[in-house]
Amino acid sequence: MYAFEKLPQVVDKRGKLPHKGFYGNRKNGVDSITTRVWHHSLTKLSAGGSKIESFADFHVRTNGWPEIAYHLIIDPKHIVNGKATIYYCVDIAKRSYHVGNSNTIGLGICVIGDYRTDKLNEATIHSIIDLHKALIADGIGKYDKAHNEMPGYSWKACCVFDYNKAFKDVLSDLLPPAKQPDRVPGLYTIQEGDTFWSIALKDGKAGVTVNDLIAANPDVKPSELKVGQTIKFGIAKNSYTPTSERPKKPQSAYQYPLPSGVLKKGARGDSISQLQKALAAVNFYPNKNAENQGVDGIFGADTENALRRFQMVYVPYQVDGVYGPNTKEKLQAVLKSKGY
């Protein structure tokens, strides 16, 4: 029996929380663990759902995982003899889902609360210290890392409490300046249990949508995501253009009709003039200072440059300086938004 299991505030919940099956064992069992990964639940302590049963339910029913994500959970709302209860939820020899492609080596420890606003209480700090000391005595893991110090997670607001400071027995002044998560990464590596829907959620309500992910990743089948596969994430934002309900007008009916097909550097003719005029109409001039603002029917370096600039803003997942169906669709939508 490990020392951490003998801590008086530890309550064994293994197998007793909502689950649908169990995680498999780590390749080398407990010896696989190199890193103690610290999380916070991002649910406010005052919220009714800030409890292990709700987390288990969310992870199993909503995320479709076999069991709750974390091996150990510290609950600041259940204090016994001045120490927060530590729930032992998933056997540490098992590979649970809490840190994507580092699950094999990571031990998941979650402190309930949203420490962007909640404050660590003294009872919780005692339990963090006790658990940390016991794990070290047991030889479980070598390093401590916050979730957002793990590869691929620098953008996560997890955990924002200063776990290092807590280990050092500092009982006052414990709310550190919150570590600001980085911006959402442009690319994203698929983790176990991911769906387009759960990935889109990572960027919050106003961010990347499922439709954006589908539009920006035309070669990826949402139903066949593979762990380790890379998809466009942050740069997928605004990729999706809702199609209008009305039947499409022929291009000739528009003030700036757009050519069809694929056009690239070296092409000439009316279709290039159409493209140049349309780009100029939305302020991406082939050459603002030249005659006709560079509209000359020749797809040269200036036109390619204007097209690239347009793509960087509106088709960021496909900046190639080549005019094709995606660029056409977006250009049409932008013209429409400007009243053309």
Q: Which is nearer to Zn ion, 56 or 280 (CB)?
A: 56
Q: What is the DSSP letter of 36?
A: E
CB of 106 to Zn ion, least distance (A): 10
The rounded distance, in Å, linking the Cα atoms of 173 and 322 is 57
Residues 33-52 that bind Zn ion (CB under 5 A): 39
CB of 178 to Zn ion, least distance (A): 14
Give the neighbor-by-neighbor strand order of the sheet with 106-111: 10-12, 83-88, 72-80, 106-111, 35-40, 143-146
Size of residue set near Zn ion by CB under 5 A = 3
Q: Is 147 in the site for Zn ion (CB under 5 A)?
A: yes
Q: Which is nearer to Zn ion, 181 or 316 (CB)?
A: 181
Residue 143 contacts residue 34 (beta carbons within 8 Å): yes
Q: Is 107 in the site for Zn ion (CB under 5 A)?
A: no
Query: Which listed residue (60, 120, 134, 158) binds Zn ion by CB under 5 A?
Result: 158
Q: Which is nearer to Zn ion, 150 or 306 (CB)?
A: 150
Q: What is the DSSP letter of 320?
A: S
Residue 304's CB: how many other CB atoms inside 10 A?
18
C-alpha dihedral sign at 200, 19, 151, 146: positive
End-to-end Cα distance, the chain: 73
Q: Which is nearer to Zn ion, 158 or 306 (CB)?
A: 158
Q: Which is nearer to Zn ion, 70 or 284 (CB)?
A: 70
Stretch that binds Zn ion, among 141-149, 211-219, 319-327, 329-337 (CB under 5 A): 141-149
CB of 35 to Zn ion, least distance (A): 13
Stretch that binds Zn ion, among 53-61, 72-80, 150-158, 292-300 (CB under 5 A): 150-158
83-110 exposure pattern, b = at least 16 Cβ within 10 A, e = fewer? bbbbbbbbbbbbbbbbbbbbbebbbbbb
CB of 91 to Zn ion, least distance (A): 20
Query: What single string gives the DSSP state of each residue in 281-317?
Result: HTT--S-TTSGGGG-SSB--HHHHHHHHHHHHHH-TT
Which of 149, 157, 232, 235 lies closest to 188, judged by CA?
232
CB of 316 to Zn ion, least distance (A): 28
Residue 81 contacts residue 39 (beta carbons within 8 Å): no
Q: Is 74 in the site for Zn ion (CB under 5 A)?
A: no
**For the chain, percent helix, then strand, then coil, each to nearest 5?**
35, 15, 55
Q: Which is nearer to Zn ion, 193 or 222 (CB)?
A: 193
Stretch that binds Zn ion, among 1-9, 142-150, 245-253, 265-273 (CB under 5 A): 142-150
CB of 39 to Zn ion, least distance (A): 3
CB of 244 to Zn ion, least distance (A): 41
Interface positions with Zn ion (CB under 5 A): 39, 147, 158
